Structure 1
Amino acid sequence: MKEMGRQALLRRVTIFLLLAGLLLPGLAAAHCDALDGPVVVEAKGALENQDVTPVLKWVRAADEEAIRAAFTQTLAVRQLSPAAKELADRYFFETLVRIHRAGEGAPYTGLKPAGAIAPVVARADRALQQGSVDDLAKAIAAHAEEGVRDYFQLAHEARQQANSSVAAGREFVEAYVTYVHYVEGIAKAVHEGPHHGQPAAPNAHQH
């Protein structure tokens, strides 16, 4: 029973993280591209330790040799001067992120500044580092429920006056469309699964 409860909790987290990406387009996309995102953070550690192994998991096996070559070149150049180190590191970060994104079938539009990661995604990373998803799951579930209730209330109130005038009817339609699209976003997240072609969470398609 504990395992089933754990899977249900993880499934809810996955669904609402997906919902965040669906309802806030562009925020989740900045995750892997950001200078404080997991890919670049791990790349910084790899350069300091002069060990490329930790970053290889971010690329496909077919791209491993390209990353190894870029890493070797970066290590050589960054020893020349502080300015060379900065440029070489940037080159490696861009190469790694570009190839990582290509492996996902996603476009590369350059590195994003630190702080560009959506708060919900940053919080998801922290939960993983801390080894507990409980607080994150509760916060996201509460936020999603609040959104459904708010949009429902607006649509419900507007519906009462929908036939009083054309203007009131249009206000209802606007509120109705917003409400339904929000709910549809949740359903879409449940049925389509995670971003980047990753497998869905256990039982994600069961009702």
Structure 2
Amino acid sequence: MSGPVVTAAKNALRARDVDLVLPYVHTEGEDEVRRAFSRVLPLRALGPEVADLADQWFFETVVRMHRAGENAPYTGLKPAGVDEGSVLPLAEKAVETGSIDEVHSFLTAELRTGLQRRINEVGRLAEQRDGTVGRARAHVAAMLGFEVYCHHVHQLVSSDPHNERHEDE
């Protein structure tokens, strides 16, 4: 409820200007958001309880369309104040300042920690192999887990974020 998509939706309702939220919605979802917006505006005049309900429905519609544009499932609205972790404030600061230094340092440290923890587990389990299938299986699971982790990280850092549609290109 305090993220950029809902914030844009709140601003759009306050200003009575749907264009303020449309940049957060892919082209295919624009008509649905426009229809929802036009239905919500008259309901907001019917009193605070109806306005709250209508606004909530609009926020859900906008976030659902936003998530669809990311090819991601809609899992509902999260309450304001939910701790989304340490990296989002750093990413937001990078957007504001144009500097990636802090977010880069944080992510580099997180990646190093994750890699080290996994490779340590591979080594620990390699030392514990005693010729039994169970111990060998545990080692193989850790080894493959490390390799798959590396593969997933590589896929993530080399992919187009959110499977972006570059509509203006």
Give your verdict on TM over 0.5.
yes
SS at match of 2:129: coil
Aligned ranges 1:53-202 → 2 under 5 Å: 53-114=19-80, 115=82, 117=84, 119-121=86-88, 123-163=90-130, 165-191=132-158, 193-198=159-164
Range with greater deviation from structure 2 (37-46 or 126-135):
126-135
Give yes or no for contact 1:162–1:170 (8 Å, CA) kept in 2.
no
Distance 1:139 1:73, change over 3 A: same
Q: Secondary structure at the match of 1:67?
A: helix
Q: Which runs of 5 or more residues in structure 2 are unaligned?
A: none
Looking at structure 2, the residues matched to 63 and 99 of structure 1 have their Cα atoms a distance apart, in angstroms, of 5
1:122 Cα offset (Å)? 5.0
2:94 and 2:7 map into 1 onto residues whose CA distance is: 17
Task: Go from structure 1 to structure 2 and tell me whether the alpha carbon gap of 1:67 and 1:174 turns closer, same or farther (over 3 Å shift).
Answer: closer
TM-score if structure 1 supplies the norm length?
Answer: 0.66
Cα offset for 1:65? 4.2
Q: Number of paired residues?
A: 164
Contact in 2 for aligned 1:37/1:117 (Cα 8 Å) = no
Q: 1:106 to 1:164 in 2, by over 3 A?
A: closer
Post-superposition offset of 1:62 = 5.0
Q: Is the 8 A contact 1:155 1:175 kept in 2?
A: yes
Cα RMSD after superposing both structures: 2.6
Higher relative contact order (CA 8 A, sep 6+): 1
Query: Structure 2 vs 1, CA of residues 181 and 76 (structure 1 numbering), >3 Å: closer, same or farther?
Result: same
Q: Distance in 1 between matches of 2:39 and 2:119?
A: 57
Mapped partners of 1:63, 1:153: distance in 2: 46
Q: Which runs of 5+ in 1 are unaligned?
A: 1-34, 200-207
State the alpha-carbon separation in 1 of the partners of residues 18 and 98 from structure 2: 25
1:151 partner letter: R
**For each residue in 1:31-53, what CA deviation from the matched residue of structure 2 results, as whole angstroms up to 9, or x when unmatched?**
xxxx2221111111222222222
Taking only the aligned residue pairs, the percentage that are identical comes to: 37
| 3-state secondary structure, aligned to 2:21 | helix
1:138-186 CA-partner distances (Å, limit 9, x unpaired): 1011110111112112212322332454443333223222222222222
Shift of 1:56: 1.3
